[in-house]
């Protein structure tokens, strides 16, 4: 800044030739922040808190898993029970995530692109599973499909097993991850409005064509983001699955349940080894999530960050 | 939310309220029908079964279950500790959110990403990690034991797990609002003679209160229902460190479906009250300040 | 700057006017130079003690406080010993609400008010602390044209009534010329000229001030013996003492007149013309030179492509 401006109108009465301080250290700090030491203390408190509550447990998982070396670590995965747990977890996610993906897109389309009565109630109901305890989420399926449940007699008669079998695990997983995609897409699609779809329709596109060529490209990053979180939760769900699985080793044990069994058997290295697999999944999820948030902030931001 | 499709040309007579406004966009029936079917089968039917099951006991029966000493103790532990944990998460979460948004320091981006860890890390994994960390021979547990605090196998352990899972809610509800604070408003306050502390307490914090309350309520609701990350560290001693969700699992394993349903319904009722409170806070905030 | 005057800081965007205003307020800090209020050096006085009033372009009202609490904020922020009585604060707020003609709005919240109303509240809030100088940063920039006009007139009235020393920043020449006692023209951080609206319009110190205050025509000319010649013909302008040789002549569109070819300074053909508010503006293409705009009384329209001669009847000469 030049001399002229600094000696501007406010200083016209006495153009003082004495040199003014130029030392940056003498400069007063900005009026919209705190004193340096306050900032340092707050940053220290925040980082210490994050380290103690979040980072340390994460490190513990990997440290304990490798406590007895790589050999012990790797052998935890060669066990047939561990392999079947991995297989089951992948299977469950492969069913639950696409289901909720389709549901989420359909729900967001109906809710964001149209005005109808009872919309707020519908949104609240879709959100419901978020506020239900995981254990209760499992319990409700036991009450419907269990041997004493609503359809119990019918299912026994036809020799169909839902509870203590894979279908129950899939259902409970779908329940706990039910709102993920819809929750993310509804605000995003509401923000985008309907004008682009209307433009496509006036240009002669069919509804499907408009969806694939206009809507989907607009929501793809938000969609990917929500699918990612949905998948992490689906593979990691413990409480709900625990209630409906029956803990049959090699048959109805998902990875988190396998961790529990190993831990309760005091097989800590194996428990943490399997846990490290899930923790690795969480880290990859977070990394991609952070990348998406950084790179495509605007395409995701509309979604409320409530999971 | 903006109504993208305002009613077309205003009709001369008072319009009959119709179920939905006209639109050229196709697919309403299909998508809404599919949405309602999924919602009904996956969410509403099972929840109805729960209410029906518990309803079989009648209000008196549910009350009887709730006042059973062991159940009452578990509910007290779940709600009491969750309240404390949500409070802690809100205070520290507020500081974390402030620091991450307003200050620049090396590793800020990484710290920001770490906040979401409890969202992504499976609860069982968090549970065994916290248990081994806070056990009497664990890294932190040993230090705590030295100053006479037993963390693992006590309500303190439950508290730690609940802070862990509640923290992201506390941070993420407040953080965007801190980012939206208009710096000019703070400048205006300073120009009018307010000290930095006065500016923070009178101008910066009041608008954040609804968001802080929302984050608190979310962390609280999550803590009450939490299971996986708690049971490993809690020790699960009846009357001391037994949480309500665990009691549901125990009752289920004893095939006491009605007892389990009764506890579940009580917990659901509290969740809904919390959810209602959140909505009221947001509605009030929107009316009063024009933002959430 | 003189006590009690209304000074406009005028300049294109990026000229440093807002920065200067923020430095005066104590929100930003100068690399060099000093800020002096009535003989006191205020450069190192923290913003809280500078006793300035500041009105932001986007109001910066406290959304969670009522209108009355917003206005009273500066008084309530004072130390107990300096704070007026509650009743006194209430009285002052009432007076200010009367001044800004929003008496019934004390208990409303800012979100319930229009943009113009919010800006008036912001002004009352700044006036409440009885500042030594009132600073307004593009106060009407965020408002639509009609509200802007009304507020302009209203601000002038308030100033006449209160005699409050005021600096306001604007990039709108009309606003600056209409409202202010004196105008300070800034460009790229340099103060070009300070003067009354008449002074800056009649005696601009540089081509930059001239160009910024309105449409300008630039013509090559020669200064010789105190006279200014364009294309070999003398103009009514006199060259400043000591200036000879090639110079630049600047004129406003109304300082050109149509003339016969043998008396004209410039020649060209009509490219287009349009009428506006009883006048007409004609674009004239010149051979090997820039197109010029001429403003003339609304006589018969000139056909496109018609050759015309132009006479310079006024203007300014710069090296």
In this complex, do A3 and C32 lie within 8 Å of one another by their Cβ atoms?
yes
Return d(Cα A84, Cα A58) in angstroms, integer: 25
Residues of chain A with Cβ-Cβ distance to B172 below 8 Å are 305-306
Nearest CA in chain B to C72: B192
User: How many residues are there in chain A?
Assistant: 307
Residues of chain C found within 8 Å of residue B291, distances taken between Cβ atoms: 63
Q: What pLDDT sits at residue C290?
A: 79
pLDDT (tens digit per residue) in A205-253? 888 898 999 999 989 998 998 999 999 999 999 999 999 987 777 788 9
- pLDDT per residue as tens, chain C (319 positions): 678 889 999 988 878 888 889 888 888 888 888 888 877 888 888 888 888 999 998 889 998 899 999 999 999 988 888 888 999 999 999 999 998 889 889 999 998 899 889 999 999 999 998 898 999 998 888 788 888 888 888 888 888 888 889 999 988 888 888 889 999 998 888 888 999 999 999 899 998 888 888 888 888 888 888 888 888 888 888 888 788 888 899 999 888 888 888 888 888 888 888 887 778 888 888 877 778 888 877 666 777 888 888 888 888 988 8
Confidence at A1, pLDDT banded by 50, 70, 90 = very low
Rounded to whole angstroms, the Cα distance separating C40 from B51 reads 76
Contacting partners of chain A (3+ CB pairs under 8 A): B, C
pLDDT range class, residue B79, cuts 50, 70, 90: very high
Partner-chain residue, chosen from A1, A7, A8, that has the shortest CB–CB distance to C31: A1
A24 touches chain C (CB under 8 A): no
Mean pLDDT of A272-299: 89
Ramachandran bin of B111, using left for φ above 0, alpha for ψ from -120 to 50, beta for the remaining angles: alpha
User: How many angstroms separate the CA of residue B258 from the nearest CA in chain A?
Assistant: 10
User: Which of the residues B193, B199, B211 would you substitute to probe the C interface, choosing the one with the greatest number of C C-beta atoms within 10 Å?
Assistant: B193
Mutate to test the interface with B, among C26, C69, C77 (most CBs of B within 10 A): C77
E runs forming strands in B153-259: none
Answer whether residue A25 shows pLDDT above 50: no
The owner of tokens 């984050």 is B215
Min Cα distance C189 → chain A (Å) is: 6
Count Cβ neighbours within 10 Å for each residue of C207-219 and write b for 16 or more, e otherwise.
Answer: ebbbebbeebbbb
> Which chains have 3+ CB pairs within 8 A of C?
A, B
B20 three-state secondary structure: strand
Q: Is the Cβ–Cβ distance between B208 and B178 less than 8 Å?
A: yes
The helix or strand, by DSSP H or E, that contains position C235, with its residue range, turns out to be strand C233-238
- B187 with C54: Cβ contact below 8 A: yes
Residue C280 has φ and ψ, to the nearest 5°, of: -130, 145
Does C1 contact A12 at a Cβ distance shorter than 8 Å? yes
B268 touches chain A (CB under 8 A): yes
Using beta carbons and an 8 Å cutoff, which residues of B are at the interface with C?
182, 184-185, 187-195, 198, 202-203, 206-207, 288-291
Contact state of A201 with B25 under an 8 Å Cβ cutoff: yes
* C34–A1 C-beta distance less than 8 A: no
Taking only the tens place, the pLDDT of each residue in B208-252 is 988 999 899 999 999 999 999 999 999 888 888 899 999 999 998
Does C48 contact B182 at a Cβ distance shorter than 8 Å? no
- In C45-202 the beta strands, taken as DSSP E runs, fall at 52-55, 133-137, 166-170, 182-187, 190-195
Arithmetic mean of pLDDT, A253-269: 93
Confidence of residue A268 (pLDDT cuts 50, 70, 90): very high
Asked whether A107 and A126 are in contact (CB, 8 A), the reply is yes
Query: Which pLDDT value is given to residue B14?
Result: 52
* Interface touch B288/C64, C-beta < 8 Å: yes
Contact B228, A275 (CB under 8 A): no
**Dist CA C209 CA C311 (whole Å):** 24
What distance in Å separates the CA atoms of residue A185 and residue A223, rounded to the nearest whole number? 7
**Phi (first) and psi of residue B179, to 5 degrees:** -65, -30
Q: Does residue A14 or residue C305 have the better pLDDT?
A: C305
Mutate to test the interface with A, among B122, B178, B229 (most CBs of A within 10 A): B122
pLDDT at position C298 is 64
A2 touches C: beta carbon within 8 Å: yes
One DSSP character per residue, B236-266 reads --TTTT--HHHHHHHHHHTT-HHHHHHHHHH
Q: Which residue in C25, C27, C78 is closest to B193 by CB distance?
A: C78
Interface test with B, best of C21, C29, C48, C129 (most B CBs within 10 A): C48
**Mean pLDDT, all residues of chain A:** 85
CB contact under 8 A, C73 and B198: no
Check residue B291 and give its pLDDT.
56
Q: Which residues contact A80 (CB under 8 A, 6 or more apart)?
A: A250
Residue C220 bridge partners (DSSP): C248
pLDDT at A284 > cutoff 60: yes
With a CB cutoff of 8 Å and minimum separation 6, the contacts of B287 are none
How far does the CA of residue C208 sit from the closest CA of chain A (Å)? 16
All residues of chain B having their beta carbon less than 8 Å from the beta carbon of residue A47 are 99, 107, 111
User: How many CB atoms neighbour CB C172 within 10 A?
Assistant: 16
User: Are the CB atoms for B115 and A290 separated by under 8 Å?
Assistant: no
At B94-123, the pLDDT tens digits run: 999 999 999 999 999 999 999 999 989 999
Say what the pLDDT of residue A26 is.
46
Residues ≥6 apart with Cβ < 8 Å to B158: B77, B81, B85, B230, B233, B234, B241, B243
Most confident stretch, A10-24, A272-286, C26-40:
A272-286
C195 touches chain A (CB under 8 A): no
pLDDT in tens, A170-202: 999 999 999 999 999 998 998 888 888 888 888
Tell me the per-residue pLDDT of B18-39, one tens digit each, with 9 for 90 and over: 677 778 888 899 999 999 999 9
Chain C contact for A54 (CB, 8 A cutoff): no
Residue A166 has pLDDT above 50, yes or no: yes
Q: Which two tokens stand for residue A261?
A: 């069994």
Sheet strands side by side (includes C316-318): C233-238, C227-230, C217-224, C245-251, C316-318
Q: Give the distance, in angstroms, between the CA of residue C87 and the centroid of all CA atoms in the same chain.
A: 39
Question: In sequence order, which ranges of A128-215 are alpha helices (DSSP H)?
Answer: 134-145, 152-157, 166-177, 180-192, 195-202, 207-210
Task: For chain C, report the end-to-end CA distance as a whole number of angstroms.
Answer: 30
| Phi/psi at B48 (5° precision) | -65, -40
C47/A31 Cβ within 8 A: yes
Is A305 near chain C, with CB under 8 Å? Answer: no
Q: Cβ of A210: how many Cβ atoms within 10 Å?
A: 21
At B40 the pLDDT is 95
Instruction: Provide the pLDDT confidence category of residue A11 given band limits of 50, 70 and 90.
Output: very low
Task: Please name the member of C30, C184, C194 whose beta carbon is closest to the beta carbon of A6.
Answer: C30
Interface test with A, best of C18, C28, C33, C189 (most A CBs within 10 A): C33
C6 touches chain A (CB under 8 A): no
Give the C-side interface with B, CB within 8 Å: 25-27, 47-54, 56, 58, 60-64, 73-74, 77-78, 109, 111, 122, 125-126, 128-129
B4 shares contact with chain A (CB less than 8 Å): yes
DSSP letter assigned to residue A163: T
């Amino acid at each position: 800044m030049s001399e002229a401006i600094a000696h501007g109108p406010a200083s016209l009465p006495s153009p003082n030739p004495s040199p003014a301080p130029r030392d940056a250290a003498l400069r007063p700090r900005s009026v919209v922040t705190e004193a340096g030491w306050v900032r340092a203390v707050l940053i220290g408190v925040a980082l210490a808190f994050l380290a103690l509550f979040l980072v340390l447990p994460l490190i513990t998982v990997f440290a304990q898993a490798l406590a007895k070396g790589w050999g012990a670590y790797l052998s935890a995965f060669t066990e047939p029970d561990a392999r079947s747990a991995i297989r089951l977890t992948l299977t469950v996610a492969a069913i639950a995530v696409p289901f909720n993906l389709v549901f989420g897109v359909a729900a967001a389309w109906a809710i964001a692109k149209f005005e109808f009565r009872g919309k707020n109630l519908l949104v609240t109901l879709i959100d419901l599973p978020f506020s239900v305890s995981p254990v209760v989420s499992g319990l409700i399926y036991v009450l419907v499909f269990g041997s004493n449940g609503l359809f119990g007699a019918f299912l026994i008669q036809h020799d169909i097993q839902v509870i203590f079998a894979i279908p129950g695990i899939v259902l409970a997983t779908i329940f706990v991850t039910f709102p993920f995609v819809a929750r993310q897409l509804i605000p995003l699609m509401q923000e985008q409005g309907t004008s682009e779809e209307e433009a496509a329709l006036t240009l002669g596109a069919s509804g499907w064509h408009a969806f694939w060529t206009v809507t989907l490209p607009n929501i793809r990053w938000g969609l990917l983001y929500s699918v990612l979180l949905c998948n992490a939760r689906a593979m990691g769900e413990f409480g709900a699955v625990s209630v409906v699985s029956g803990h049959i080793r090699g048959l109805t044990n998902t990875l988190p349940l396998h961790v529990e069994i190993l831990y309760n058997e005091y097989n800590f290295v194996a428990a943490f080894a399997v846990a490290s697999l899930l923790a690795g999944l969480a880290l990859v999820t977070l990394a991609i999530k952070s990348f998406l948030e950084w790179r495509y902030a605007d395409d995701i931001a509309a979604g409320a960050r409530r999971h | 939310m903006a109504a993208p499709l305002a009613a077309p040309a205003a009709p001369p007579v008072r319009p009959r309220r119709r179920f939905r406004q006209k639109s050229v966009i196709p697919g309403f029936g299909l998508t809404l029908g599919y949405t309602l079917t999924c919602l009904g089968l996956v969410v509403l039917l099972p929840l109805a079964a729960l209410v029906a099951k518990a309803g079989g006991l009648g209000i008196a029966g549910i009350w009887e279950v709730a006042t059973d000493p062991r159940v009452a103790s578990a509910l007290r532990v779940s709600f009491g500790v969750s309240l404390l944990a949500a409070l802690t998460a809100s205070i520290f979460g507020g500081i974390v959110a402030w620091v991450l948004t307003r200050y620049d320091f090396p590793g800020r981006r990484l710290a920001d990403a770490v906040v979401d860890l409890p969202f992504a890390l499976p609860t069982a994994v968090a549970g065994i990690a916290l248990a081994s960390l806070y056990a009497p021979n664990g890294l932190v547990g040993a230090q705590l034991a030295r100053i006479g605090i037993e963390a693992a196998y006590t309500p303190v352990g439950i508290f730690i797990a609940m802070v862990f899972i509640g923290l992201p809610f506390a941070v993420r509800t407040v953080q965007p609002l801190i980012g939206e604070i208009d710096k000019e408003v703070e400048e205006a306050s300073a120009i009018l003679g307010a000290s930095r502390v006065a500016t923070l307490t009178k101008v910066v914090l009041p608008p954040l209160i609804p968001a802080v309350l929302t984050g608190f309520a979310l962390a609280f609701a999550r803590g009450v229902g939490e299971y996986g990350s708690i049971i490993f560290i809690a020790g699960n001693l009846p009357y001391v460190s037994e949480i309500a969700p665990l009691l549901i699992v125990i009752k289920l394993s004893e095939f006491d479906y009605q007892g389990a349903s009764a506890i579940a319904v009580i917990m659901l009722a509290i969740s809904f009250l919390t959810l209602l409170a959140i909505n009221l806070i947001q509605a009030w905030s929107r009316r009063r300040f024009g933002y959430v | 700057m003189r006590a009690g005057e209304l000074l406009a800081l005028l300049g294109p965007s990026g000229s440093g006017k807002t920065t200067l205003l923020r430095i005066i307020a104590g929100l930003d800090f100068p690399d060099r130079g000093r800020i002096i209020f009535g003989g006191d050096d205020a450069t190192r006085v923290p913003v809280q003690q500078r006793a300035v009033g500041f009105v932001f372009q986007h109001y910066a009202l406290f959304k969670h406080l009522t209108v009355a609490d917003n206005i009273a904020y500066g008084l309530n922020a004072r130390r107990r010993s300096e704070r007026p009585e509650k009743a006194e604060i209430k009285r002052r707020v009432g007076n200010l609400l009367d001044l800004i003609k929003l008496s019934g709005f004390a208990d409303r919240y800012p979100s319930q008010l229009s943009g113009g109303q919010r800006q008036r509240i912001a002004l009352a809030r700044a006036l409440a602390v009885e500042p030594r100088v009132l600073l307004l940063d593009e106060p009407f920039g965020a408002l639509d044209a009609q509200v802007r006009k009304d507020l302009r007139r209203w601000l002038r009235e308030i100033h006449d009534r209160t005699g409050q020393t005021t600096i306001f920043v604007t990039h709108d020449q009309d606003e600056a010329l209409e409202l202010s006692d004196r105008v300070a023209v800034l460009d790229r951080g340099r103060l070009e000229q300070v003067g009354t609206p008449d002074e800056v319009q009649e005696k601009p110190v540089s081509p930059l001030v001239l160009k910024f205050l309105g449409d300008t025509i630039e013509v090559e000319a020669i200064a010789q013996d105190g006279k200014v010649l364009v294309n070999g013909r003398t103009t009514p302008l006199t060259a400043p003492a000591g200036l000879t040789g090639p110079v630049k002549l600047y004129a406003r569109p109304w300082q050109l007149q149509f003339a016969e070819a043998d008396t004209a300074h410039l020649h060209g053909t009509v490219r287009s013309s349009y009428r506006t508010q009883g006048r007409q503006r004609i674009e004239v293409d010149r051979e090997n030179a820039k197109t010029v705009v001429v403003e003339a009384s609304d006589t018969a329209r000139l056909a496109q492509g018609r050759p015309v001669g132009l006479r310079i009847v006024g203007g300014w000469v710069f090296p």
